[in-house]
Amino acid sequence: SAVISQKPSRDICQRGTSLTIQCQVDSQVTMMFWYRQQPGQSLTLIATANQGSEATYESGFVIDKFPISRPNLTFSTLTVSNMSPEDSSIYLCSGDTGGTDTQYFGPGTRLTVL
Amino acid sequence: GIQVEQSPPDLILQEGANSTLRCNFSDSVNNLQWFHQNPWGQLINLFYIPSGTKQNGRLSATTVATERYSLLYISSSQTTDSGVYFCAGPPQGGSEKLVFGKGTKLTVNP
């Protein structure tokens, strides 16, 4: 299994600012993903974080708004840029260790934008 | 891409009761997973179950891949089982990313 941590756990931000969320995995994972969970909703995939190259974004999400880095196999960051109240959500990172493809999730970052 | 539908959307139980949650998917999947999100938001992987049956304590899951559905059984429910249960599968074969259903919100009352 994999243990995934995220920082910060929560934040309250002003409109127009940016926030970078960090995701650390305790073991090497083959794939890392970033999801958004809007209040009362299910999870929606934002992008796949690729090691050493540009992330692969899902429809409706763009790099200018959600730049992602993954400099090595155990660490990734997601930045939420030029925030608006509509960006208030829980942001979760996940990873799988290959083999069984079981996916493990971090505890999430609860973001409120005023 | 795959569509994942869960039922029921909400479920209220008395402690000790049993329940069955259902997940239907629109296409064949080789990576069906069940998750529990507790009231604090933490998402826990319960089962990786592309086919067959697995059991873990009071929880068990069965996936019938040929009929495109999966069931999660909770026996002798406890208040700590409360939360939202999600099933998820890949949008297309061979993909490791997941498409989530809308979830079943379970409330277990003492």
pLDDT digits (tens, 9 = 90+) for B53-64: 999 999 999 999
Q: Does A49 have pLDDT greater than 80?
A: yes
3-state secondary structure of A81: coil
Q: Does A27 have pLDDT greater than 70?
A: yes
Q: Which of A42, A101, A110 sits opposite B100 (nearest CB)?
A: A42
Q: Which of A41, A103, A108 sits opposite B33 (nearest CB)?
A: A103
Q: What confidence tens digit (pLDDT) does each residue in B32-86 have?
A: 999 999 988 899 999 999 899 999 999 999 999 899 999 999 999 999 999 999 9
* C-beta atoms surrounding B50 within 10 Å: 17
**Residues of chain B found within 8 Å of residue A31, distances taken between Cβ atoms:** 96-97
How confident is the model at residue B39, as a pLDDT?
A: 87
Q: Would you place residue A68 in the very low, low, confident or very high pLDDT band (cuts 50, 70, 90)?
A: very high
B101 and A104: CB-CB below 8 Å? no
Q: What are phi and psi of A35, to 5 degrees?
A: -125, 155
User: Cα–Cα distance between A4 and B3 in angstroms, integer?
Assistant: 28
Q: Say if B3 is an interface residue toward chain A (CB within 8 Å).
A: no
Q: Would you place residue A52 in the very low, low, confident or very high pLDDT band (cuts 50, 70, 90)?
A: confident
